[in-house]
């Protein structure tokens, strides 16, 4: 699996590497969200893990940029897992078109489950009441 990680926080980078790193996993890290679109054009990731707060262009703006590029055929559809700071940020993830999101603090089990689900084309939503 090839994972694109957009974050400028070393602790997020460490947590994601620890949770998702395997001998079969490769990572590309963007510390500036403005670089993500070009990185996707070079090699399409199986999953993009995007930190809500990431330099001058965070997860919401990155996701919307990826969705716009996909809608006009400039790039493939990239599955996005957002890392949110709080429950109040869920509306940003919904509006951006992310397939999944986790609310910090992170833990390896939730991160692995969410990443596997989103990479497999499923949704993973935290902080949203379960539908009955």
Q: Is position 132 within any domain? A: no
Q: Assess if residue 130 is contained within a domain.
A: no
pLDDT, residue 115, reads 98
pLDDT at 128: 74
Which pLDDT value is given to residue 27?
Answer: 97
CATH code of 24's domain: 3.40.50.2300
Q: What is the pLDDT of residue 127?
A: 83
Q: Is residue 10 domain-resident?
A: yes
Q: Provide the number of structural domains found in the chain.
A: 1
Kindly state whether residue 53 falls inside one of the protein's structural domains: yes
The three-class DSSP label of residue 94 is helix
Range of the domain at 69: 2-125
Residue 21's pLDDT is 95
pLDDT along the chain (132 residues), means of 10: 97 97 96 94 96 91 94 92 94 92 95 97 85 48
């Amino acid at each position: 699996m090839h994972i694109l990680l957009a974050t400028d926080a070393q602790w997020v980078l460490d947590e994601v590497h620890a949770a998702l790193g395997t001998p079969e996993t490769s990572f590309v890290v963007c510390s500036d969200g403005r670089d993500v679109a070009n990185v996707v054009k070079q090699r399409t990731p199986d999953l993009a893990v995007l930190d809500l707060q990431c330099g001058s262009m965070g997860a919401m703006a990155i996701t919307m940029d990826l969705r716009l590029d996909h809608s006009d055929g400039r790039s493939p559809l990239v599955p996005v897992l957002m890392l949110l700071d709080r429950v109040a940020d869920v509306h940003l993830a919904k509006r951006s078109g992310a397939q999944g999101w986790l609310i910090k603090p992170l833990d390896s089990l939730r991160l692995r489950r969410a990443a596997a689900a989103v990479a497999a084309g499923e949704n993973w939503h935290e902080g949203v009441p379960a539908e009955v």
